[in-house]
Amino acid sequence: MKKNSEALPEEIEEPPSEWSNWHWQLDHRIQTFEELSNIIQLSDEEKNALLSDTEIIPLAITPYYARLLSKTNPNQPLRRAVVPTTAEFIVSHGELEDPLGEEDDSPVPGIVHRYPDRVLFLVTDCCSTYCRYCTRSRMVGRSGKRHASMDQWEGAIEYIKANKSIRDVLISGGDPLVLPDKTLRNLLRNVRQIPHVEILRIGTKVPVVLPQRITEDLLEILKENHPLWINIHFMHPDEITKETSEACIKLANIGIPLGSQTVLLKNINDSVEIMKSLIHKLLKIRVRPYYLYQCDTIQGSAHFRTPVSTGIKIIEGLRGHTTGFAVPSYVIDAPGGGGKVPITPDYFVGRNGTDVILRNYENKQFRYPDIV
């Protein structure tokens, strides 16, 4: 793996004066074949994907994140995650536009109500950077709009108000942190004012791909809405840069618990060594590993998906070999709307009489006198 300094596209090796302005970053996203080909040497598979008329996830990469991409190596993990290839055109067995059945659990536009006491509130279809394995590839970037309005969310908010069993609202999209400050403040206030909503959560990748967004004004907006939790999509240890670290520490310093949600991806992070490096770097910037997701079966995702056995081996390689709370929960979001199902190594060997036989991380067996 090349160091980041060796991977800088020539055009932005000397960042412009506006580099730290998050609006500038959004306005100057790489979104076309021409723009991308000017900063990296595209492979045939990348060229053909970008020039094809086949509908795939839109291309968008912030200049900041583009600066982390290798100019010459199409197999670099960060590059594979954001640059399309023709592998996305291949639809394999079991792959669906909406593999999690979110549309079936959507009582009103923008709301996914799968669990009794919480809802997913999709507030935008825009992201600053589009991951090629996105669960919501069917919808992200399709409207062409960066911002939404309160009018679009009125029905969703009324649904939350009317269902007093909802105590937890996860705000996601797209990425809610691409919303303008005023719009985001109004959105959070409207949800926060619902008496039975106890906590708000935000799902985002902004601190990773657009760390300039974590401004003092944004921090003030977030502080107004405690208790607030943020889950950040980290994928690879190379994403944890000085800028990303500073963004996460700023969020942690205003009292927001930070968690990491990582998708397990073939030839990107599918080894114990890479995952251990990622979680150790996360802990240093006060982000707790939360979920390790098996890659969802969206259309054209086979080149990203690993066997489930790979995820189990990674958890086995972490358990006992690093801090206990650093080990994420490995889950499969069950196709068809079954929700998150935890997948764990089998440490329960069986019984001998009334004793339970256990296996530890060193593969040694121990007896526990059970009460029956």
Whether 113 is in a domain gets the answer: yes
Q: Report if residue 356 sits inside a domain.
A: no
d(CA 11, CA 295): 34
User: Which pair of tokens denotes residue 242?
Assistant: 């000085």
Q: Quick one: DSSP state of residue 340?
A: E
Enclosing domain of residue 307: 103-342
Same domain, 161 and 109: yes
What's the pLDDT score for residue 261?
A: 97
Using an 8 Å Cβ cutoff, are 208 and 238 in contact?
no
354 lies in some domain? no
pLDDT of residue 4: 38
Helix axes 181-192, 150-162, angle to 10 degrees: 20
pLDDT at residue 328, as a whole number? 97
What pLDDT, on the 0 to 100 scale, is given for residue 3?
35
Same domain, yes or no: 230 and 153: yes
Q: Tens of pLDDT along 101-143? A: 999 999 999 999 999 999 999 999 999 999 999 999 888 888 7
* Burial group, residue 360, by CB count within 10 angstroms (0-12, 13-18, 19+): exposed
Give the Å distances, CA to CA, from 219 to 65, 251, 255, 282, 300.
22, 7, 10, 20, 37
Q: Are residues 69 and 107 in the same domain?
A: no
Residue 41 CB-density burial (10 A; 0-12 exposed, 13-18 middle, 19+ buried):
exposed
Q: Are both 18 and 157 inside the same structural domain?
A: no
| Chain centroid to CA 2 | 24
Residues taking part in catalysis: 114-115, 118, 127, 131, 134, 136, 296, 333, 340
Are 184 and 215 a contacting pair, CB within 8 Å? Answer: no
Nearest to 156 by CA among 125, 203, 120, 192: 120
pLDDT tens sequence across 32-83: 999 999 999 999 999 999 999 988 899 999 999 999 999 999 999 999 999 9
The CA-based diameter of the chain, rounded to the nearest angstrom, is 72
Verify that 115 and 242 share a domain, yes or no: yes
Q: Is residue 333 part of a domain?
A: yes
Tell me, what DSSP letter sits at residue 261? E
Which residues, 6+ apart, have CB-to-CB distance to 104 below 8 Å?
337
Do 180 and 61 share a domain, yes or no?
no
pTM over 0.85: yes
pLDDT at 14: 66
Residue 260 domain-assigned (yes or no): yes
Give the DSSP per-residue string, 139-181.
TTT-S--S---HHHHHHHHHHHHH-TT--EEEEESS-GGGS-H
Give dist(CA 202, CA 330) in Å, integer.
Answer: 20
Closest by CA position to 13, among listed 67, 56, 49: 67
pLDDT, residue 13, reads 61
Q: Rounded to whole angstroms, how far apart are CA atoms 271 and 288?
A: 19
Q: 70 and 133: one domain? A: no
Q: What is the CATH number of the domain that holds 206?
A: 3.20.20.70
Q: 245 in a domain, yes or no?
A: yes
Please identify every stretch of the chain with a pLDDT value under 70, giving residue numbers as ranges.
1-14
Segments in 163-295 forming alpha helices (H): 181-192, 206-209, 216-223, 242-253, 272-284
**How long, in residues, is the chain?**
372
On whether both 148 and 296 belong to a single domain, the answer is yes
d(CA 209, CA 147): 18
Query: 89 lies in a domain?
Result: no
Instruction: Provide the domain count of the chain.
Output: 2
